[in-house]
């Protein structure tokens, strides 16, 4: 079974009833916000309050903090992966750059969740595989069009781009400039303008 199928199974565990599904979705959205603002230690009571549900509803849906981390992480990976299809009509280089920009935003806000999930967990591995399945074809398409370095491999590109998210950028727009410099190194033939 592929990692995408396994993630689909994970997501299929979401409640089917409309009211239960609304509560589940509200909890995931509230957790996403709280984790982005407060890190992995965000209060579960605060998450329930933000979602407009009781703490019992939170625990019914997510028996442990880890279950909630996994749900938020999987939902974010699915959204990032699905965004690759949204870029299909763009020229190859533009599609790759747009997806890598989305990837940077995703990584910057998900670092705390990834640390909590431990990089060797099955959910983390499956999510990583789904990210590669979504992004790697964009790089290959750009390479086939002759606009990305032919010697680049997707793992190298993700490591380069992920490295940018480790730093805090004190000036608005600085991260985007640094990302542009990195992408200029990936562009083929090299960009000088």
Task: Tell me the C-alpha distance between 47 and 35, whole Å.
Answer: 9
pLDDT of residue 109: 62
Got the DSSP string for 106-173?
HHHHHHHHHHHH-TTSHHHHHHHHHHHHHHHHHHHHHHHTT-B-TT--HHHHHHHHHHGGGS--SSTT
Determine the straight-line distance between the first and last CA of the chain, rounded to whole angstroms: 46
Q: What is the pLDDT of residues 48-99, one digit of tens each?
A: 999 999 999 999 999 998 889 888 888 888 999 999 999 999 999 999 999 9
CB atoms within 10 A of CB 137: 16
CATH architecture of the domain formed by 3-186: Orthogonal Bundle (1.10)
Which residues of the chain, if any, have pLDDT below 50? 1-3, 193
Q: What is the pTM of this model?
A: 0.76
């Amino acid at each position: 079974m592929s990692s995408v199928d396994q993630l689909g199974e994970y997501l299929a565990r979401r409640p089917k009833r409309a009211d239960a599904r609304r509560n589940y979705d509200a909890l995931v959205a509230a957790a996403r916000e709280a984790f982005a603002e407060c890190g992995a230690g965000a209060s579960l009571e605060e998450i329930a309050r933000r979602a407009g549900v009781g703490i019992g509803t939170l625990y019914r849906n997510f028996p442990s903090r880890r279950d909630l981390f996994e749900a938020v992480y999987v939902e974010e990976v699915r959204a990032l992966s699905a965004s690759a299809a949204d870029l299909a009509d763009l020229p190859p280089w533009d599609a790759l750059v747009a997806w890598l920009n989305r990837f940077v935003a995703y990584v910057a806000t998900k670092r705390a969740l990834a640390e909590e999930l431990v990089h060797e967990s099955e959910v983390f591995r499956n999510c990583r595989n789904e990210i590669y399945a979504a992004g790697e074809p964009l790089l290959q398409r750009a390479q086939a069009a002759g606009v990305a370095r032919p010697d680049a491999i997707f793992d190298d590109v993700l490591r380069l781009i992920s490295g940018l998210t480790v730093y805090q950028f004190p000036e608005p727009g600085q991260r985007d400039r640094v990302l542009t410099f990195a992408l200029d190194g990936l562009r083929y033939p090299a960009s000088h303008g």
